[in-house]
Structure 1
């Protein structure tokens, strides 16, 4: 089984990560049915709301995940009271499908337990069937469902 080490991001590392994370969120929103322009606006608004003080926003933790010296992904968690919310987790494209997503999530769980947290949650886009399957295998259960319908003019 693969294992990873989480290393906190520095503020300098955060800046390029933030730009790419927002762009990825926009692409995921577009894949879920939003227009490209609407998805970009929604992503910018979401990140501005979630990170009003950017890297220094209270309760937020950002890590890069490493296998030895190789960076294999990243993780962003927000902590409120006794619960963590995974806002973003990803595996580098060239090492996907090798167990790193599972390893990052298990490292997240360990960090949460070590931090005295009792719950961990996340949002996953419906079209991301691979991630949904992984989270279910890890014991995550659906606690709600957002649905949408595209309306045609006429």
Structure 2
């Protein structure tokens, strides 16, 4: 396995943003945060705020995860201050899941983050995504906040 992070091309970014908005909306629906009829509009608004200049938005690093020449996923890091970064997204395409690409990509991203001067790296994971939560815990990420809700 030879995982490397390569800056997204414009075409890869267009594919990423289309997939990511739909996926993000769906995750909020699954979590009970958003209603299906409002989810895409809310997702689009958030992405327009976070990436106003698309892939050229300052302090945002969007990578295609490659294993040799094969694209296996995508990852997005934002530098939120001189010493802090936030991973907005990591997606390993379904046919590549469970093969260690997520772990390797996270390790590569941590190396790149250190090179940028980032000392603290955060991320968000939906509670129902137990596979991702397990990976992040194994990589040393600690829960900082837990939001709970009960449907009556």
Q: Structure 1 length as normaliser, TM-score?
A: 0.91
Q: Is the 8 A contact 1:3 1:100 kept in 2?
A: no
List structure 1 runs of 4+ shifted beyond 6 angstroms: none
Task: Output one character per residue of 1:82-131: Cα deviation in whole Å (capped at 9) or x when no partner.
Answer: 11100000101101101111111111111111222101110000000000
Mark the runs of 5 or more structure 2 residues left unpaired by the alignment.
none
Mark the runs of 5 or more structure 1 residues left unpaired by the alignment.
none
Task: Output one character per residue of 1:8-64: Cα deviation in whole Å (capped at 9) or x when no partner.
Answer: 002232112111111010111111013212322221121111112222211111000
Task: State the partner residue of 2:26.
Answer: 27
**Larger mean Cα displacement after TM superposition, 36-45 or 65-74:** 36-45
Q: Structure 2 length as normaliser, TM-score?
A: 0.92
State the distance in 1 between where 2:111 and 2:2 align. Answer: 12
RMSD: 1.4
How many residue pairs align between the two structures? 150
State the distance in 2 between where 1:3 and 1:146 align. Answer: 37
Q: Is the 8 A contact 1:26 1:43 kept in 2?
A: yes
